[in-house]
Structure 1
Amino acid sequence: MLCGRWRSRHRRREEPPVPAQVAVPLALPSPPAPQDGGNKRPGLRALKKMGLTEDEDVRAMLRGSRLCKIRSRTWQKERLYRLQEDGLSVWFQRRIPRAPSQHIFFVQHIEAVREGHQSEGLRRFGGAFEPSRCLTIAFKGRRKNLDLAAPTAEEAQRWVRGLAKLRARLDAMSQRDTHTWIHFYLHRADSNQDSKMSFKEIKNLLRMVNVDMNDMYAYSLFKECDRSNNEWLEGPEIEEFLQRLLKRPELEEIFHRYSGEDRVLSTPELLEFLEDQGEDGATLAHAQQLIHTYELNETAKQHELMTLDGFMMYLLSPEGGCPEPAHTCVFQDMNQPLAHYFISSSHNTYLTDSQIGGPSSTEAYVRAFAQGCRCVELDCWEGPGGEPVIYHGHTLTSKILFRDVIQAVRDHAFTLSPYPVILSLENHCGLEQQAAMARHLHTILGDMLVTQLLDSQNPEELPSPEVMGLMPLCRPLAVYCWASRLRTPAPCPQPRPQPCQVSSLSERKAKKLIREAGNSFIRHNACQLTRVYPLGLRMNSANYNPQEMWNSGCQLVALNFQTPGYEMDLNAGRFLINGQCGYVLKPACLRQRDTTFDPECPGPPRTTFTIQVLTAQQLPKLNAEKPNSIVDPLVRIEIHGVPADCACKETNCVPNNGFNPRWGQTLQFQLRAPELVLVRFVVEDYDATSPNDFVGQFTLPLSSLKQGYRHIHLLSKDGASLSPATLFVHICIQRS
Structure 2
Amino acid sequence: MYSVVEADNRSKIKHDDLGECSAKLMTSLLFLQCFCAVGAAHVCVSLSLQKCDQSKCGSLEGEEIQHFYEILTQREEIDVIYGAYAKTEGMLSAANLLDFLQKEQKEQVDLSYAAQLIEKYEVDETAKAKQQMTKDGFLMYLHQPEGLIMNPAHKRVYQDMQQPLNHYFISSSHNTYLMEDQLKGPSSTEAYIRALMKSCRCVELDIWDGSDGEPVIYHGYTLTSKILFKDAIKAIKEYAFKTSEYPVILSLENHCSVEQQKLMAHHMTSILGSALVTKPLGDHMPTELPSPEDLKRRFLIKGKRLNKLEASLSDQASAEEEESVTEEEDCRDDEEESEKNLSGKSKTLKLAKELSDIVIYCKSVKFQGFEHAQTHQAFYEMCSFKEGDAFKFAEKSAFEYIHHNVDKLSRIYPSAFRTDSSNYDPVPLWNAGCQIVALNFQTPGPEMDLNQGLFGQNGLCGYVLKPSYLRDKASEFDPITLTRGPWLKHKELHVMVSKSNLNGHMDPLVRVEIHGVPADETEKETRHIQNNGFNPMWNENFQFDLYVPELALVRFVVEDYDAVSNNDFIGQCTVPFTSLQNGQCA
Relative to the length of structure 2, the TM-score reads 0.80
The C-alpha deviation readout for 1:557-585, integer Å capped at 9, x for no partner, is: 00000001000000110110111010011
Q: Distance in 1 between matches of 2:129 and 2:567?
A: 50
Q: 1:687 aligns with which of 549, 557, 562?
A: 562
Corresponding residue for residue 577 of structure 2: 702
Corresponding residue for residue 580 of structure 1: 460
Q: Is the 8 A contact 1:351 1:359 kept in 2?
A: yes
Aligned-partner residue type, residue 678 of structure 1: L
Structure 1 residues 487 and 687, CA gap change in structure 2 (3 angstroms): same
Q: 2:164 aligns with which of 313, 325, 337?
A: 337
Q: Which moved more, 1:512-521 or 1:666-675?
A: 512-521
Q: Distance in 1 between matches of 2:502 and 2:260?
A: 55
Pairs within 5 Å for 1:439-588: 439-455=266-282, 459-469=286-296, 474=299, 476-477=301-302, 478-490=359-371, 494=374, 498-588=378-468
Give 1:686 shift: 0.9
Q: What secondary structure does 2:109 align onto?
A: coil
Q: 2:539 aligns with which of 664, 668, 672?
A: 664
Structure 1 residues 458 and 331, CA gap change in structure 2 (3 angstroms): farther
Structure 1 residues 226 and 411, CA gap change in structure 2 (3 angstroms): closer
The C-alpha deviation readout for 1:241-271, integer Å capped at 9, x for no partner, is: 4134222111010011112373211111111
Count of residues in correspondence between the two structures: 508
Give 1:687 shift: 1.3
Q: Distance in 2 between matches of 1:593 and 1:206?
A: 54
1:593 matches 2:418: no
Structure 1 residues 265 and 674, CA gap change in structure 2 (3 angstroms): same
* Stretches (4+) displaced over 6 A: 230-233, 616-619
Q: Distance in 1 between matches of 2:405 and 2:169?
A: 11
Corresponding residue for residue 42 of structure 2: 208
Q: What secondary structure does 2:523 align onto?
A: strand
Q: Distance in 2 between matches of 1:595 and 1:616?
A: 48
Aligned-partner residue type, residue 208 of structure 1: H
Structure 1 residues 464 and 617, CA gap change in structure 2 (3 angstroms): farther
Aligned-partner residue type, residue 476 of structure 1: I
Aligned-partner residue type, residue 573 of structure 2: F
Corresponding residue for residue 498 of structure 2: 614
Q: Is the 8 A contact 2:252 2:301 kept in 1?
A: no
Give 1:615 shift: 1.6
Q: What secondary structure does 1:262 align onto?
A: coil
Corresponding residue for residue 23 of structure 1: none
Q: What secondary structure does 2:113 align onto?
A: helix
Give 1:280 shift: 4.0
Q: Distance in 1 between matches of 2:558 and 2:65?
A: 29
Q: Is the 8 A contact 2:164 2:288 kept in 1?
A: yes
Q: Is the 8 A contact 2:555 2:575 kept in 1?
A: yes
Q: Distance in 2 between matches of 1:594 and 1:645?
A: 24
Structure 1 vs Structure 2 CA RMSD: 3.2
The C-alpha deviation readout for 1:494-516, integer Å capped at 9, x for no partner, is: 47862111111111010111233
Pairs within 5 Å for 1:117-128: none
Q: What secondary structure does 1:313 align onto?
A: helix
Give 1:346 shift: 0.3
Give 1:318 shift: 2.5
Corresponding residue for residue 64 of structure 2: 238
Structure 1 residues 278 and 486, CA gap change in structure 2 (3 angstroms): farther
Corresponding residue for residue 322 of structure 1: 149
Aligned-partner residue type, residue 355 of structure 1: Q
Structure 1 residues 363 and 212, CA gap change in structure 2 (3 angstroms): closer
Q: Is the 8 A contact 1:497 1:527 kept in 2?
A: no
Give 1:142 shift: 6.5
Relative to the length of structure 1, the TM-score reads 0.64
Pairs within 5 Å for 1:185-334: 208-210=42-44, 222=51, 234-246=60-72, 247-260=74-87, 262-334=89-161
Q: Distance in 1 between matches of 2:525 and 2:448?
A: 21
Q: Distance in 1 between matches of 2:185 and 2:40?
A: 41
Pairs within 5 Å for 1:349-498: 349-455=176-282, 459-469=286-296, 474=299, 476-477=301-302, 478-490=359-371, 494=374, 498=378
Q: What secondary structure does 1:282 align onto?
A: coil
Give 1:347 shift: 0.2
Q: Distance in 2 between matches of 1:674 and 1:347?
A: 28
Give 1:231 shift: 8.6
Structure 1 residues 370 and 657, CA gap change in structure 2 (3 angstroms): same
- The gaps in structure 1 that reach 5 residues or longer are 1-45, 47-87, 89-105, 110-138, 144-166, 177-184, 189-204, 620-628, 712-736
Structure 1 residues 212 and 235, CA gap change in structure 2 (3 angstroms): closer
Give 1:640 shift: 0.5
Q: Is the 8 A contact 2:215 2:260 kept in 1?
A: yes
Give 1:236 shift: 2.4
Aligned-partner residue type, residue 120 of structure 2: T
Give 1:594 shift: 1.4
Q: What secondary structure does 2:64 align onto?
A: helix
Q: Is the 8 A contact 1:376 1:423 kept in 2?
A: yes
Q: What secondary structure does 1:301 align onto?
A: helix
Give 1:315 shift: 1.0
Q: Distance in 1 between matches of 2:404 and 2:564?
A: 48
The C-alpha deviation readout for 1:168-221, integer Å capped at 9, x for no partner, is: xx99x9579xxxxxxxx9xx9xxxxxxxxxxxxxxxx987244898xxxx89x9
The C-alpha deviation readout for 1:674-712, integer Å capped at 9, x for no partner, is: 10001110001111121111110011101111121354x
Give 1:490 shift: 2.9
Aligned-partner residue type, residue 353 of structure 1: E
> Percent identity over the alignment?
48
Q: Is the 8 A contact 1:484 1:501 kept in 2?
A: yes
Aligned-partner residue type, residue 42 of structure 2: M
Q: Which moved more, 1:481-490 or 1:656-665?
A: 481-490
Q: What secondary structure does 2:200 align onto?
A: coil
Q: What secondary structure does 1:694 align onto?
A: strand
Q: What secondary structure does 1:708 align onto?
A: coil
Aligned-partner residue type, residue 301 of structure 2: P
Q: Is the 8 A contact 2:22 2:147 kept in 1?
A: no
Structure 1 residues 509 and 666, CA gap change in structure 2 (3 angstroms): same
Q: Distance in 2 between matches of 1:660 and 1:276?
A: 27
Structure 1 residues 618 and 694, CA gap change in structure 2 (3 angstroms): farther
Q: What secondary structure does 1:634 align onto?
A: strand
Q: What secondary structure does 1:446 align onto?
A: helix
Q: Distance in 1 between matches of 2:92 and 2:376?
A: 63
Q: What secondary structure does 1:386 align onto?
A: coil
Q: Distance in 2 between matches of 1:681 and 1:651?
A: 11
Structure 1 residues 687 and 513, CA gap change in structure 2 (3 angstroms): same
User: With CA pairs under 8 Å and 6+ residues apart, which has the higher RCO, 1 or 2?
Assistant: 2
Give 1:240 shift: 4.0
Aligned-partner residue type, residue 239 of structure 1: I
Give 1:285 shift: 1.0
Q: What secondary structure does 1:512 align onto?
A: helix
Structure 1 residues 450 and 283, CA gap change in structure 2 (3 angstroms): same
Give 1:485 shift: 1.4
Q: What secondary structure does 2:407 align onto?
A: coil
Structure 1 residues 284 and 440, CA gap change in structure 2 (3 angstroms): same
- The gaps in structure 2 that reach 5 residues or longer are 24-36, 303-358
